[in-house]
Structure 1
Amino acid sequence: MREFTFTQLKDGYRYNSDTLLLYDFISKHKLKGSVLEVGCGCGIIGILLKHKFEKIELFLLDILQQNYELCEINLKQNNISAQLFCEDFFSFSHKRKFDFILCNPPFYRNGAYESTNLHKKVSKFQSSFCLDSFIKKSNSLLKANGTLYFCYESSALESICSTLTKYKLRLSKICFVYKDEKSKARLVLLEAKKSFNGVCEVMRPFFMYKDKIISPQMQELSSSLRIKSLDL
């Protein structure tokens, strides 16, 4: 099994279990063609997907210069190729449309404690990334039968569905993530498609813990990846 190395900021937003859950969700569906990761951070999801689906053309975009530089490091040390952009997604333009767009967006609610650390604040809070604008912009950049992958807090599902409909996207797959069997869903993993007329598939739920220990599902995910983290 290949080991991946990802450099991150010691004092900044770092990839976490949500990152790996979104990667796992996306990786179960065959990717081909052009793939744009929005708000790519250190590039971990895109890099892992490029390794699994070697023939995809990978594009990584982030508004923060620090993340652009982290991606340069991580692409090089993992021997992965991609086109990098340091731009605001909402003003981003490209000569082509994309087959897939994926994002682990900031979804902490406004009013929650916001860190004074700019890197953490931009990466975590809704105030820096409007859901409506994200879906609208994604629709404009996707091909006619393109697919959007993202995760969000489960309590926002009603708003997500109405916004997808507003911009002519439809849910095709959904997976709810729970802390354990006694908890309410905290996260939802979503696949939405343009020009989709089928029925949304509700996938097997994902439980992080079982009987207060890491669940078999989480153990399986963790054991499928060998990741080494370095601090910058």
Structure 2
Amino acid sequence: MVLYQPQNGYCYNSDTHFLYHFIVQNLNTFKNNQGQLLDIGSGSGILGLLIKRDFPKFHLNQSEVQEEFIWLSSKNAQTNGLKNKMYEGNFLTQSFEQKQFDICVSNPPFYHGSVIKSENKILKIARYNDSMPLEKFIQKTYDILKPKGKFFFCYDVKQINDIMLLLNKYKFNIESMQFIYPKRDRDATLVLVYARKNSKSLTKVFPPLMVFENEDFTQDVQNIYEKTQTHSIKVEI
């Protein structure tokens, strides 16, 4: 998959590849994956486009607030021959034409407001949760999902207590989770979450994913990149 990205701005990273793989693992437990899919904060479009590529029965919708990424999401969909519907504007205030979704996916801005921020406006919006606070993100997603709708996202593992409390508050059940570790002797940095609206299933915790062994990607991570098969092209926008 060819993906255009900004020369100077936020680019997709390994988090999105790991989230994609986690989503695929979970969706493969269902026989008939179809319906309305929403990629929240689509950026260059990578996450939704990869899922659409592998599960073509989904109708891909993408929500993005930044003009540069609205253009990139549309450009990348067209380049890869995939149909998408773009919703332009703030996810939290978007009506989505009163549509409800079967599945929502997102690699949202999750860095806490207390950390030192980039001066680049595009990077600020893409990285820091000032633009989309966790509680509002979860509440809005609940509102637009169909009953038993699926919700996949990744987040800073340090905020896991808030994640679990807020998902419970808005009647999401955590179906599965996976923790991402830079190395075996390091603390986890990222959590991948699959929650379902109004579900009562028990939670599955996937084996941890280690990113590096010595200075090289682990075999598990190499396998993920082989599945995504993405090629990035930097452009001025």
**Which of the five TM-score ranges fits, normalised by the shorter chain?**
over 0.9
Aligned-residue sequence identity (percent) comes to: 29
Deviates more, 1:190-199 or 1:209-218: 209-218
Task: Summarize deviations over 1:33-54 as a string: whole Å, max 9, x none.
Answer: 1110100000001111101001
Stretches of 4+ moved more than 6 A in 1? none
Alpha-carbon offset, residue 110 of structure 1: 1.4
Q: Within the alignment, does 1:57 sit opposite 2:46 as a pair?
A: no
Partner of 2:81: 79
Corresponding residue to 2:26 among 29, 41, 52? 29
TM-score (norm 1): 0.96
State the match for 1:148 in structure 2.
Answer: 151
Structure 1 position 224, deviation (Å):
2.0
Q: Deviations over 1:77-126 (max 9, x none)?
A: 10000101111011111322100011101111212221111111100011
Mapping of residues 12-27 of structure 1, within 5 Å: 12-27=9-24
- Residue of structure 2 equivalent to 1:214: 217
**Distance across 2 between alignment mates of 1:131 and 1:225:** 28
Number of aligned residue pairs: 229
Q: Does 1:181 align with 2:184?
A: yes
Q: Distance in 2 between matches of 1:227 and 1:145?
A: 31
Moved more, 87-96 or 8-17: 87-96
Normalising by structure 2, we get a TM-score of: 0.94
* Alignment correspondent of 2:42: 40
What is the CA RMSD across the aligned residues, in angstroms?
A: 1.0
- 5+ long unaligned stretches in structure 2: 28-32
2:173 aligns with 170
Work out the CA distance in 2 between the residues paired with 1:42 and 1:14. Answer: 8
Segments of structure 1 that go 5 or more residues without pairing to the other structure are: none
Structure 2 match to 1:69 = 71
Which secondary structure does the structure 2 equivalent of 1:26 belong to? helix
